Copies of this chain bind each other. A is one copy, B any other.
């Protein structure tokens, strides 16, 4: 098990003194279907939710075959992977997208675009809402020629993987963007980063990873695979796992929610619900707080006792971020099912952002949870929508927003938080634990220094 979780297991468990009973979270089971609640069983390991397709598909080459596969790879046409491509290789290799066996072929790509799901050979349906595809250009395509396999290499030319049984098909970027984001407006971060300048072809096939993707950023130990996470949950005797996806610093509103969720799961009869606090580690847009700083902030939050380390596993989700709202939230949830989560917490406007051109949010704030609750292939997952938390001035702490006394609440937006941290001002008492806030101040400090021409120091995680 990774260092952070172990570390916190050793930390003494603080009393959650600052979280009195609050308004109930509204629990909604998936619409129109009976809920398949996981019943606490004698053998706890049996109670983890099954991964999509029944088992986790890991795509690593066996140790004994590494040498021969590497030799074979060196004889194949090479495709150099971008940073984001490598993140997808990572995602695929560990089985987050199980039962996907590699970059999508056209039939998978089309099903993803049109149905947000894949039909398996046995007729069952799994969720799959974002295309996991590899683009190549005309020159690369002609280099591949009539070959059936290619070698995937990193920017240093080192072989990472083999893609075999390949299929090359058209990369209709406009259609991909329109169907994934529901807009084609210029300025979508993932599109600018990874699609606009990508090649006009997609290459799908079966992936065999020879050298697992590592980042050497002192955070690899937090990058637990779905299989490792499942092992960890079993070790902890979890009989329910609730996942919280985030790509922002944790404030006390988040903490309130997570603590309250555990309480409610206990009320429902679960004996040991475990939280998977699962920050996204792949590509994020430029104005998001970088992973290394977020991890440092999360560490402080746990150290400060805002969350109970005994029942919390902190790990990094290796996927890049699409900012595709209701489409992407399904991917975020599905991947966590594969890691053993049977409860998924979904907030306001998940994976959303501002419209790149218009003065409004790109997505309706409620669509994410609505779409998630109806998504094909996610019927087994219990969706936990949560009410907005805001700063309750009457209690000097974060609380679930009560529209009946709206005037008592203060909404601290990301922009507001950034402004405060940049100015080294403190947020209202009780908004975020002091240690966590200090990390944020340091981050914006380093950013200001960089803007003044100084290189920011790397953050030790």
Contact = CB atoms under 8 A, between A and B. Distances in A.
Q: Give the one of A110, A121, A182, A184 with max B CB within 10 A.
A: A182
B115 A370 contact: no
Interface string A162-193: 00000000101011001101111100000000
A271 interface: no
Interface in A128-147: 129
A376 interface: yes
Contacts of A393: none
A381 to B, nearest CB: 14
B183 A174 contact: yes
A296 interface: no
A15 interface: no
Nearest to A111: B374
A123 interface: yes
Interface string A18-32: 000000000000011
Given A33-B119, A119-B31, A364-B170, A371 B110 contact: yes
A107 B113 CA distance: 19
A183 B182 contact: no
A342 interface: no
Contact of A114 (B106, B116, B120, B174): B116
A117 B117 CA distance: 11
Contacts of A119: 31-33, 374, 376
A123 to B, nearest CB: 5
Contact of A106 (B170, B172, B326, B370): B370
A41 B117 CA distance: 35
A183 B175 CA distance: 6
Interface residues of A, number: 42
A186 to B, nearest CB: 11
Contacts of A172: 182, 364
A56 interface: no
Contact of A179 (B33, B170, B174, B182): B182
Interface string A94-129: 000000000000110011011111011111010001
A282 B31 CA distance: 34
A348 interface: no
A348 to B, nearest CB: 16
A31 B371 CA distance: 26
A107 B367 CA distance: 9
B182 A110 contact: no
A458 B178 CA distance: 41
A363 B34 CA distance: 39
A382 to B, nearest CB: 16
Nearest to A170: B364
A327 interface: yes
Contact of A184 (B106, B111, B183): B183
A117 B32 CA distance: 14
Contacts of A258: none
A125 B181 contact: no
A179 B182 CA distance: 5
A31 B106 CA distance: 13
Interface in A294-349: 326-327
Contact of A370 (B31, B110, B170, B371): B110
Given A115-B374, A178-B182, 6 more contacts: A32-B122, A110-B374, A113-B182, A174-B185, A175-B183, A178-B179
16 contacts: A31-B107, A31-B119, A32-B120, A32-B121, A32-B122, A33-B123, A106-B370, A110-B326, A110-B374, A111-B374, A115-B116, A119-B374, A178-B179, A178-B184, A179-B179, A376-B376
